[in-house]
Structure 1
């Protein structure tokens, strides 16, 4: 699975998304790489989420089917979710636009060919035909102010397989947040089992941002965990910890 992620500075507009309907589809344009031989296709490729192509030697279909010229293997990709609207965010955090199920290939670069749309934040004025190949500016007559999309950045994100990620961090300090009660634990990762249950030692407990004491060795069942990460890569204030 891959996700196309957008971050941008929106001024005066919201709900930025591709103009993508079955009658007028958006063509998603990528550079593609074979995961078997690492060959990169020399040209940009484009496809829509509405078109379907047969996968040779299979009963399945996909939005994009590609045969690598170097290793002669056939690969495919399909849009599984989206397009999602990009919502204005003061921190300009990245937000997923589409999710892709990729089999044997990776998309390594995105080009925003095609038109996008948005709405005025205060006026709900519709803006169409937005070109995101560069910064975009317009004027909202109802709001009486300029609107823009700036500092545009694209990323292709591949979710991390949690088991090898955690196994590689045994012996390091981790932060674990539970699904309820505003409860977090900070401790050294002792071990992780096949069911993804986590064992921490030298554990400190935090509830509503307050340190409630040291618990020592703690076993946390995986179905109770909302989020976890390395303590050295997370600001304690991001989790509400003091």
Structure 2
């Protein structure tokens, strides 16, 4: 699974989301990378959650089907649910939409298309919100104040992780109750991270020390900063070094 995680500074508005209906679908625009050969497609790709395409070689369908030009493998992605609202009252980093990715990763997001929000106190609806430049300004007549969205940023996991090198972090497996606590040694371009002095915990109970551990992050899920050590949640594969 891959989650689009956004960070923004909201002033006077809340419930920010893409305007995404069957009559007026939102086209999600990304740079895409093959997880087999690590080739990144040079162009932006766009798709919506209502159009279904056949996946070659299977009986399934997906919202996005892509054949890597380098290794010629066919990959797909589907949007699992409607987008959730980015709320003023919640933490700054919030998950907006989730994708089921098969053989690919989305590495960059471009906020093309219309977004919508509402007044935080007045519930005044705002449509046609353009975030392509990372900011938006308007005036809420009912509330009598200027409203804005600033510093709108899709989060890229690798720079964030690189800033945590030499710090103690927690890596929590998304599908279960297993955690790995250790010192972040390195993160490479393939999103492999190395931990030192690693301890494994299952359902909060220590199962022992593992020493050096290499963890493969197959898709960025979410990240939040807690009290020390820092807490980083991912969908992962893990193996000891």
User: TM over 0.5: same fold?
Assistant: yes
| Contact 1:116/1:128, CA 8 A, preserved across alignment | yes
| CA distance, structure 2, for counterparts of residue 96 and residue 189 of structure 1 | 28
Matched residue, 1:143: 143
Q: How many residue pairs end up in the alignment?
A: 187
Change (3 A) 1:160 1:46: farther
Deviations 1:143-168 (A, max 9, x none): 111010011111256995368x7457
**Hey, what's the Cα distance between the residues in 1 that align with 2:76 and 2:37?**
15
**Secondary structure of the corresponding residue to residue 81 of structure 1:** coil
2:118 paired residue number? 119
Contact 2:172 2:180 in 1 (8 A): no
Contact 1:3 / 1:97 at 8 angstroms: preserved in 2? yes
Does 2:13 align with 1:13?
Answer: yes
Measured after TM superposition, the shift of residue 123 of structure 1 is 1.5
Per-residue Cα deviation, 1:82-122 (whole angstroms, up to 9, x for no partner):
300100047x5211110010000000000000000011112
Structure 1 or 2: more strand by fraction? 2
2:205 pairs with 1:198: yes
Partner of 1:232: 229
Name 2:107's counterpart in structure 1. Answer: 108
The alpha carbon displacement at 1:73 in A equals: 0.3
Work out the CA distance in 2 between the residues paired with 1:130 and 1:63. Answer: 25
CA deviations 1:59-95 (Å, max 9, x no partner) are: 00000000001000000000113300100047x5211
- Alignment pair present for 1:161 and 2:173: yes
Higher radius of gyration, 1 or 2: 1
**Residue 198 of structure 1: CA displacement?**
2.5
* Structure with more of its chain in helix, by fraction: 1
Alignment of 1:28-43 (within 5 A): 28-43=28-43
Q: CA RMSD in A?
A: 3.0
**CA separation of 1:124 and 1:70: change in aligned 2, threshold 3 A:** same
Q: Which residue of 2 aligns with 1:58?
A: 58
Contact 2:9–2:92 (8 Å) recurs in 1? no
Q: Which moved more, 1:74-83 or 1:58-67?
A: 74-83
SS in structure 1 of the partner of residue 229 of structure 2: helix
- Contact 1:66–1:75 under 8 Å retained in 2: yes
Q: Which runs of 5+ in 2 are unaligned?
A: 159-170, 184-196, 209-225, 232-241
In the superposition, the TM-score normalised over structure 1's length comes to 0.69
